[in-house]
Amino acid sequence: MTEKYRFVSREGDKWASILIDSGKYNGIIYQYGKVSVPEEENEDGNMPLAFKYNVLDYNGHTEE
């Protein structure tokens, strides 16, 4: 299986960013922020992760 992302960083960055390497969002670079797990299961019995992120480069894509 080929990777669809890679880690990238710019000089002076404290943390690595993620570059999407294929598909509809190819070329977008973003960083994860706070990642959290809910305290209780949802109605489906799952506990999905929630996370904040910051898009650093839209690479020609619109924000929508």
Tell whether the model's pLDDT for residue 2 goes beyond 80. no
Q: Is residue 34 part of a domain?
A: yes
- pLDDT, position 56: 93
Residue 64 belongs to a domain: no
Q: Does residue 31 fall inside a structural domain?
A: yes
**21 is a domain residue:** yes
55 membership: H or E segment, kind and range: strand 50-57
62, part of any domain: no
Q: In angstroms, rounded to a whole number, what is the distance separating the alpha carbons of residues 26 and 62? A: 12
pLDDT at 10: 84
pLDDT of res. 1: 59
Q: Given this model, what pLDDT does residue 13 score?
A: 86
Query: pLDDT of 8-59, one tens digit each?
Result: 998 888 889 999 999 999 999 999 999 999 889 989 999 999 999 999 999 9
Q: Is residue 38 part of a domain?
A: yes
Number of domains in the chain: 1
Whether residue 63 is contained in a domain is answered as: no
> Does 33 reside within a domain?
yes
pTM of the predicted model over 0.85? no
Which domain covers residue 51, as residue numbers?
A: 5-57
